[in-house]
Structure formats: C-alpha cells, structure tokens
Amino acid sequence: MFTTQSASAYAKVGVETGVGTADPHQLIVMLFDGALLAINSAAIAMEKGDPAAKGQNISKAIEIITYGLKASLDAEAGGELSTRLGTLYDYMCERLLFANLKNNQATLTEISNLLADLKDAWENMGSVTNGGEKVTP
C-alpha cells in the first residue's frame, strides 16, 4: 500500500537525484520552485488555521531565499544586479515575517508573484541560444 510516508520518501529521492544531476542553472530553478512551494503551503495552512504548519513553511521559504538564492549571488561577477537582488531577497524575507505575524495572505501572494517573475526571468536566461547552441548563464 502506498502511504503518505512512502510518497514523501519517493519525492525526497526524486529531489536528491535531481540535485545530483542538475547544472548550476537548474539548481537555482529548483530553489525558486522550493520557495514557491513553501509559500503556497503556508497559504494553505493559513487558510486552514494551522499556525504551526504556516510558520514552518514560511521559515522554509525564508531559509531557501536566504541560504539558497541570496547566498548564490556573486557580487564580483554580478555587480549592481547582484546587489539589487540581494536587497530584494532581504525585502522578501521581511515581508514573509510580516505575513506570518499578521496572517496576511496578500503578502504571501506578493512574494510568490515576485519569486515567480524572477524564476521566469532566470529560466528565460537559460534558454538563450548562441548560433543554435544553448547557452547557460
């Protein structure tokens, strides 16, 4: 019988396999996906009145943004863009803390939309071609 625990273990193996075979560009996409999933899960928990799950998922999103996305910025290579993204990531984390404290769905939506826009831009950069050959940033 396939249980929730089995599904969770299967998903974990899938993620670990994906991480092990992903290039740096794909890893960033996976971080965006993880943060978006955590925010969506927090919104569902908020709707259900489950403060523990809401807090855990918001904390997970903040960790992904801080220790994944922001930590991956290269100030030397990225220059001003890297600095601006770092500031945006800090803003996102502050807003997520606000959303947690005030049970504010609109703020979760705001941050989810920002992350989705950044993810789309990142994915589009990965599909840039150079004479028919895919170029990965």
pTM: 0.79
pLDDT in tens, 2-20: 333 444 444 454 445 455 5
- Domain at 112, CATH number: 1.20.120.340
- Asked whether residue 10 is assigned to any structural domain, the reply reads no
Helices 105-126/24-48 angle, 10° precision? 160
- Asked whether residue 16 is assigned to any structural domain, the reply reads no
| Number of domains comprising the chain | 1
User: Model confidence at 78, in pLDDT bands (50, 70, 90)?
Assistant: confident
